Amino acid sequence: MQIIGCDFHPSFQQIAWLEETGEVLERRLGHREEAEQFYRSLRGPVRVGMEACGHYPWFERLPQELGHELWLGGAAEIRAKVAPSPRERNGAVHGARGEVLPKSA
C-alpha cells in the first residue's frame, strides 16, 4: 500500500510519500486540476493521511471515488504527537510515515 501525507492549504497541497527504498519524496500540488490528475494517476491501494481542517469537501470525495482510503487526524492531536523537526518542512512527511493519523469514521 502506498501512503501519502497531505498538508492541505487553501490554494495547494504539500504531499510526501515513502518510497520502497525508505526515501521520503515531496511534491507541491496546485488545486484542483493538478491534484486530481496526480491522485488519478496512482495505481494500487493508496492511503492519504491529512489534518482535518474543513476546507476540502471536493478533496474528501476524490479518494473515495478512486477507491483510495482517506485518514483524518485532529490538528491538536497531530501537533501533540509530532515534535517539529528542522529537516521536515511540513506535516505531510509525518502523514506519509503513518505516524499520527487515525482512520476517519
Contact 30, 10 (CB under 8 A): no
For residue 39, name the pLDDT band (cuts at 50, 70, 90): very high
- pLDDT score recorded for residue 7: 87
- Tell me the three cell numbers of residue 39: 491522485
Average pLDDT over residues 10-39: 89
What's the fold here for domain 2-96?
Nucleotidyltransferase; domain 5 (3.30.420)
34 or 19: which leads in pLDDT: 34
pTM higher than 0.75: no
List CB contacts of 45: < 8 A, sequence separation 6 or more: 1, 2, 68, 69
